[in-house]
């Protein structure tokens, strides 16, 4: 289905970031004419694929969004403040994650587009009653980030129902893999653990390490996003993007040490304010059934590729 992007004009907000860059890269490989909007606060120009047009700007600028969206057929909206930055500055979090999404949708309503795909987060579920988590389960956001991402979802679905804006929501779960930089203060735990193990440093775990997450390989997340951008059944829907498999942070640390063949020290430190989710694994039966998508990369293989990408990296020389 992704062959349907050939020649299409596609805008990726946040396309200089980790996941946004991977989505932009896949779109370019499919023959799309890609434009990337990024304020480069955490993204980097090197993540933008060759041939794509980089626009330095922010989704908080309504005029910029109107101008950019008008020249494109599809929009992948991945620009967002991360959970750590959001917790430190809830107002900026709201203005970027919720307000920025509203700006994208207002432009889409005015200009008319074929599809907007909004990147949300499984953090909106909070601490679930049961695992794996279904899209229809209770939503209990426990951080400013989760609140703003859920607000963005509601805006997308409201614009779909009220104005006919063709929107689709994908809820990512702990995306990791090559391309995620360990020197980024907001990098995920996988990259941080790999970097620490390479440097011979302890792997620092916040809390007891028994908290679980559903780790999703970057290629799988990007592919699911592209499928959601074209599939006719995706319009007006919300989909979990993950593996459905729980892995404890302690087991993750041990697996990374084993992949590197090192006897890494594991150090337990105080729990952070943002570490308030005890268990996470998402049910992916809906996206499997409706869009015929399923993850292709198991955790062991994803960790192998991540380690391979970071060993010998200039960041560790």
Dist CA 221 CA 210 (whole Å): 25
Residue 186 tokens, joined: 């907001």
pLDDT digits (tens, 9 = 90+) for 212-245: 999 999 999 999 999 999 999 999 999 999 999 9
pLDDT digits (tens, 9 = 90+) for 107-130: 999 999 999 999 999 999 999 999
Dist CA 190 CA 182 (whole Å): 9
Topology, domain 2-174+215-241: Rossmann fold (3.40.50)
Asked if the model's pLDDT at residue 186 lies above 80, the reply is no
Nearest CA to 124 among 106, 139, 102? 139
Asked if the model's pLDDT at residue 317 lies above 60, the reply is no
pLDDT at 185: 63
Asked if the model's pLDDT at residue 284 lies above 70, the reply is yes
Residue 227 tokens, joined: 């499928």
**Helices marked H in the chain — which ranges?**
18-29, 62-69, 83-88, 90-93, 100-111, 144-163, 189-198, 218-230, 249-260, 285-291, 299-310
Catalytic residues: 145
pLDDT digits (tens, 9 = 90+) for 36-82: 999 999 999 999 999 999 999 999 999 999 999 999 999 999 999 98
| Average pLDDT of the chain, as a whole number | 94
Dist CA 177 CA 306 (whole Å): 5
Share of the chain above pLDDT 70, in %: 97
Q: Tell me the CA distances in angstroms from 261 to 82, 192, 247, one per residue in order.
A: 32, 17, 20
Instruction: Please give the average per-residue pLDDT across 293-308, as a whole number.
Output: 97
Domain ranges of the chain: 2-174+215-241, 177-214+245-281+297-311
Q: How confident is the model at residue 314 (pLDDT cuts 50, 70, 90)?
A: low
For the chain, the farthest-separated pair of C-alpha atoms sits apart, in whole angstroms, at: 57
Instruction: Please give the average per-residue pLDDT across 278-306, as a whole number.
Output: 97
Asked if the model's pLDDT at residue 312 lies above 80, the reply is no
Q: Tell me 213's DSSP state.
A: E
Nearest CA to 14 among 172, 136, 220? 172
* pTM (predicted TM-score): 0.95
Q: How confident is the model at residue 102 (pLDDT cuts 50, 70, 90)?
A: very high
Asked if the model's pLDDT at residue 257 lies above 90, the reply is yes
Q: How confident is the model at residue 86 (pLDDT cuts 50, 70, 90)?
A: confident
The residues pairing with 13 across neighbouring beta strands, listed in sequence order, are 37, 77
For domain 177-214+245-281+297-311, which architecture applies? Alpha-Beta Complex (3.90)
Q: How confident is the model at residue 316 (pLDDT cuts 50, 70, 90)?
A: low
pLDDT digits (tens, 9 = 90+) for 15-27: 999 999 999 999 9
pLDDT at 83: 87
Instruction: Please give the average per-residue pLDDT across 269-282, as a whole number.
Output: 85
Domains 2-174+215-241 and 177-214+245-281+297-311 fall in the same CATH topology: no
């Amino acid at each position: 289905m992704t062959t349907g992007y050939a020649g299409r004009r596609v805008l990726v907000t946040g396309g200089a970031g980790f996941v946004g860059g991977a989505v932009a890269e896949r779109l370019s490989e499919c023959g799309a004419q890609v434009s990337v909007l990024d304020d480069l606060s955490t993204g980097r120009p090197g993540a933008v694929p060759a041939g794509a047009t980089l626009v330095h700007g922010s989704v908080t600028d309504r005029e910029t969004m109107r101008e950019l969206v008008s020249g494109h057929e599809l929009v992948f909206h991945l620009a967002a403040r991360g959970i750590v930055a959001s917790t430190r500055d809830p107002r900026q979090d709201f203005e970027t994650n919720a307000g920025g999404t509203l700006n994208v949708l207002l432009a889409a309503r005015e200009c008319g587009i074929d599809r907007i795909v909004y990147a949300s987060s499984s953090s909106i579920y909070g601490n679930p009653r049961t695992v794996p988590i279904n899209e229809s389960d209770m939503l209990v956001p426990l951080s400013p980030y989760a609140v703003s991402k859920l607000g963005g979802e509601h805006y997308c679905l409201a614009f779909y129902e009220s104005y006919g804006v063709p929107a689709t929501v994908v809820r990512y779960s702990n995306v990791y893999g090559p391309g995620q930089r360990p020197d980024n203060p907001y990098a995920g735990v996988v990259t941080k653990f790999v970097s620490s193990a390479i440097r011979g440093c302890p792997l620092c775990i916040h809390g007891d390490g028994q908290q679980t997450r559903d780790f999703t390989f970057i290629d799988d997340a990007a592919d699911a996003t592209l499928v959601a951008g074209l599939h006719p059944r995706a319009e007006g829907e919300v989909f979990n993007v993950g593996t459905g498999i729980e892995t404890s942070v302690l087991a993750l640390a041990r697996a990374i040490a084993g992949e590197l063949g090192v006897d890494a020290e594991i150090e337990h430190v105080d729990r952070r304010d943002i570490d308030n989710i005890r268990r996470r694994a998402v049910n992916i039966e809906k996206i499997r059934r409706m869009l015929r998508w399923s993850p292709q990369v198991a955790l062991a293989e994803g960790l192998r590729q991540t380690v391979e990408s970071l060993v010998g990296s200039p960041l560790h020389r």
